[in-house]
Amino acid sequence: MKRALVIAAALIATVFLPLLVLLLNSGSPATWPALWLAPQALNALSGTLLSSFGASLVALVFGLPFAWLVTRSDVAGARGLKTLVTLPSAIPPYLWTMGWIALANPRSGWLTLVIGQNRLDVYGLGGIAFVLGTSALPLVVLATSAAFERIDSSLEEAARLSGASALRTFTTITLPLITPAALSGAALVFVFASASFGVPYLLGVSANPPTPTLTTRIYGEVLMGEAGLSRAAVLSVELLVVAVGVLLLNGWLAKAGRVRLPRGKGLGQKVLSLGRLRGLVSTAAWATAITIIVLPLGAIFLTGLQPTWGQWGSLTFKHWGVVMQARTLQAIGVSLALALVAALLVGSIGLMIAMTKRRWLETLADAPSAIPGTVLALALLVTFSRDVRFVAVERVAFVLALGNTFWLLLLSYVVKHLALGVRSSSDALSQADPTLGEAARLSGAGRFRAFVDGIFPQLRGALSAAVLLTFLTCVSELTMSVLLIPTGSDVLGTLLFELQSYADPGSAAVIASALLLVVLAALLVESAMVRRAEAR
């Protein structure tokens, strides 16, 4: 109990208290409506809502057919297709943005050059929604394929025998059964999109006309210094309301529309044969997946190797020198170190929380993951920054020292991703066999030793997956980093962001390529680990 209380106190001090400070800092609630209803703020709000809604739609339109194809049909290469369409989540959204800028900017994008100028424009609302939607594709694919896999074929066969055609069966039986899962996936896409910063910044700020969102407006206000901070705080409250509101709505919808898929044994799943259309459908599916996933990544690599279109003879690594520059090396080092420490902390603190087996503590630790990164970072900034001296906790010496240091960045990484460690540990613990620990106790092991020898080996798979995922997310984190990075320093995310938006897209592509290689290698390692764990 004591340990639970200590963890809870730490969480409250580092997450919920700063949120309160942010709230206090945003002036009297009476002034909020005026600020929210100001034309600029309304513009940002509508940008956030429209782009997030559009992203959900894009993810559904692409995700549903892919999920159906890979789970229920005999599409060619179903396994590979599933791996491909679940890949985007592992790669930071701004990398997808860079890929699409290289492909489809209205003047010199490579696709633009193929199909003619001014036909494609990745900048603006449509482009933001498209890039956010495709980079969040796995959220819909994973949720709906799980639902498709739980539909017993006899449910569909019963409809056929009742007189329904195959198409009618799909629309009246299959589709309604997966609708709750699809909606919940779409809601997650919405929340992800509304909290996203890199994509709307890169594609919205320089669009014509500019397309602001809440996150980019907040960033803009923070750059203005003290005066902007309180306006940023008010917008943050608005963003928080949107994100948490959608999550609550989703939870309520899930409860109201819950469909209990039947248990009991039957024939299980029959794969539907696409028949004569198999070749056509498979080709279309693969072509689509390659276009929205492989092409943008390929564009990043090619931009890094050869900055101008059409000169295939001049592919060269000479631009790769940028990787060896001191500034780049320092950013890489800082990112690797921060991500490594954050991932290990997420794993160990998550395990500690799960081991207390207290639901309220798990909920408390889960909550920060629902807070948009921009809001969380701003709350920490306002609360712990030395520049903002009106903060109540000013007297506490070590708190003061947090401002403008990497510690604050590390703190934000850990609390934001803590849910990952908690959930995977608590799932793994509930599946672990306690008798292995008990057997160790009876063999003479102490409590700690029994845990290490009996229980921990059973958690290792889930924990290492959580640690790896946290590492991958943090090593390229941007949204919180741009707000919390100490002056004059860089992490990979902020360096890339700066190079891409102001200075040197070519160098940005080189560093992005290096980052992509690291991410893809890590994914290979993970899938090998999973396969080994499954083989055991």
Summarize as ranges the residues that interact with other proteins (CB under 8 A). 152, 154-155, 157-166, 168, 172-173, 176-177, 259-262, 264-267
Count CB-CB contacts under 10 A for residue 390. Answer: 10
Strand partners, 272: 73
**Cβ-based nearer residue to other proteins, 46 or 154:** 154
Nearer to other proteins (CB atom), residue 43 or residue 154: 154
Token code pair at residue 379:
């709350």
| Nearer of residues 267 and 315 to other proteins, judged by Cβ | 267
Question: How distant, in Å, are the alpha carbons of 497, 511, 532 from that of 476?
Answer: 10, 11, 27
Residue closer to other proteins, measured from CB, 182 or 491: 182
Taking the least distance from each CB to other proteins, the nearer of 170 and 301 is 170
Give the burial string for 99-112 (b: 16+ CB within 10 Å, else e): bbbbbbbeeebbbb
| Structure token pair of residue 212 | 């602001």
Nearest approach, Cβ of residue 148 and other proteins (Å): 15
Nearer to other proteins, 265 or 536 (CB): 265
What is the smallest separation between the CB atom of 162 and other proteins, expressed in angstroms?
Answer: 4
What does the alpha-carbon distance between residue 101 and residue 300 come to, in Å, rounded to a whole number? Answer: 9
Q: Please give the Cα distance from 511 to 301 (Å, whole number).
A: 10
Least distance (Å) between residue 252 CB and other proteins: 18
Angle at 376 between CA 520 and CA 369, to 5 degrees: 55
| Buried b / exposed e along 3-33 (16+ C-beta atoms within 10 A) | ebeebbeebeebbbebbebbbebbeeeeebe
Q: Which is nearer to other proteins, 252 or 390 (CB)?
A: 252
Shortest distance in whole angstroms from residue 150 CB to other proteins? 10
CB 147 within 8 A of CB 178: yes
Beta carbon nearer to other proteins, 177 or 382: 177
In the complex, minimum distance from the CB of residue 264 to other proteins, in angstroms, rounded to a whole number? 5
Distance in Å, CB of 74 to other proteins, minimum: 14
CB of 171 to other proteins, least distance (A): 12
Q: Which long-range contacts (CB under 8 A, 24 or more apart) does 260-266 make?
A: 261/147, 261/150, 261/151, 261/152, 261/177, 262/152, 262/155, 266/152, 266/153, 266/154
Query: What is d(CA 133, CA 154) in angstroms, rounded to the nearest whole number?
Result: 33
**Helices 125-135 and 93-104, packing angle to 10 deg:** 130
Q: In terms of CB distance, is 83 or 154 closer to other proteins?
A: 154
Asked if residue 300 lies in contact with residue 516, where contact means CB atoms within 8 angstroms, the answer is yes
Nearer to other proteins, 58 or 64 (CB): 64
In whole angstroms, the minimum distance from the beta carbon of 430 to other proteins comes to: 23
Q: Which long-range contacts (CB under 8 A, 24 or more apart) does 276-279 make?
A: 278/74, 278/75, 278/76, 279/76
Residue 508 region by backbone torsions, left for phi larger than 0, else alpha for psi between -120 and 50, else beta: alpha
- Residues facing 73 on adjacent strands: 272
| Residue 63 C-beta: closest distance to other proteins, Å | 21
Separation of alpha carbons 226 and 128, rounded Å: 30
Select from 78, 94, 211 the least CA-distant residue to 148: 78
- The distance of closest approach from Cβ of residue 176 to other proteins in the complex, given in angstroms and rounded to an integer, is 5
| Smallest separation, CB 359 to other proteins (Å) | 24
**Could you write out the DSSP letters of every residue in 168-188?**
HHIIIIIHHHHHHHHHHHHHH
With respect to other proteins, which residue has the nearer C-beta, 168 or 327?
Answer: 168
Could you tell me the smallest distance in angstroms from the CB atom of residue 169 to other proteins?
A: 8
Pick between residue 163 and residue 209 the one whose CB is nearest to other proteins. Answer: 163
